Structure 1
Amino acid sequence: MDRYEGFREFVDARQQSLMRTAYLLTGDSHLAEDLVQTVLTRVASHWSRLAGTGNPEAYTRKALVNQHLSWRRRRSFSEIAGLEVPDRGEAHDDATLRRLALRQSLAKLSPKQRAVIVLRFYEDRSEQETAQLMGCSVGTVKSQTHYALSKLRALAPQEAYR
């Protein structure tokens, strides 16, 4: 039996979803690609165990969040990705301006707060699932969600985050 049997199929099925989550976590498409590649390399090294007895999806999601948090701890996030939107004098529609404002606001959250927002509201995970993926308590998820939403409301009051 090939030790990577099923890995290619798993990647084909989940890569786009992982890329979307990684992009929301990092705010940069190139960093998102690096994050997913790093995580999938680690998943591949454990694939025989994961495919046989584990839950590869949960392991991969948890590794994605953990790797992102690790990167954020090592370097200032503004160093990792230049998230300032350059003023080029271009006209943007309202939806584009709202996305840019949200992107800048998300970049100002702490790593845990951003991860909680992405997991809870983008991926529609429960508090329990989010806590498992982040390796923390449900209380931490609740408090980080509260602080993150409060900060987002202060940074972009026009958006009415609820």
Structure 2
Amino acid sequence: MADWERAFRTLLATRGGALRSYAYLLTGDPTTAADLVQEALTRVFGRRRIGEDIDQLEAYVRRAMLNQYVDSRRRLKRWNATRHLLVDVPHHDDDRVAVADEVRRGLATLSPRQRACVVLRYYEDLTVAEIADELGCAEGTVKRHLADARAKLAVQLGITEESTQ
């Protein structure tokens, strides 16, 4: 039996439950926690040179779990913030594609709250009251975000008051 196998078996036998508990506290889901432990063990024991000190190995696995969890949350946050931009745009209408691209770039410059208000108002077709309820803020705040966002987008998209009438 290789040295790493002995260390792996000893770590799981003595500290496996503690590692699973730690992963569960991080994720709050038993299945995700099991995946987190497995991935961290794979990363740690995938290295050629590891020690045999169980305390060091446990600390190393815990650190790998924490890093992986934080990275996955960061990736999820980034994905949730940008996935709505992945719209299946028809390729036959070049003007429409250009306008959609320009609007996407304009939306990217808005603050998160402004952008949320614009999307909920014009994409989800919610009322100001419904948006306020959805975002947990006052209606006046939603109106302010919408007004600021419209003004900013109008400048960026070159929309004048005459063209909106």
Normalising by structure 1, report the TM-score: 0.42
Structure (1/2) with the larger helix percentage: 2
Larger radius of gyration: 2
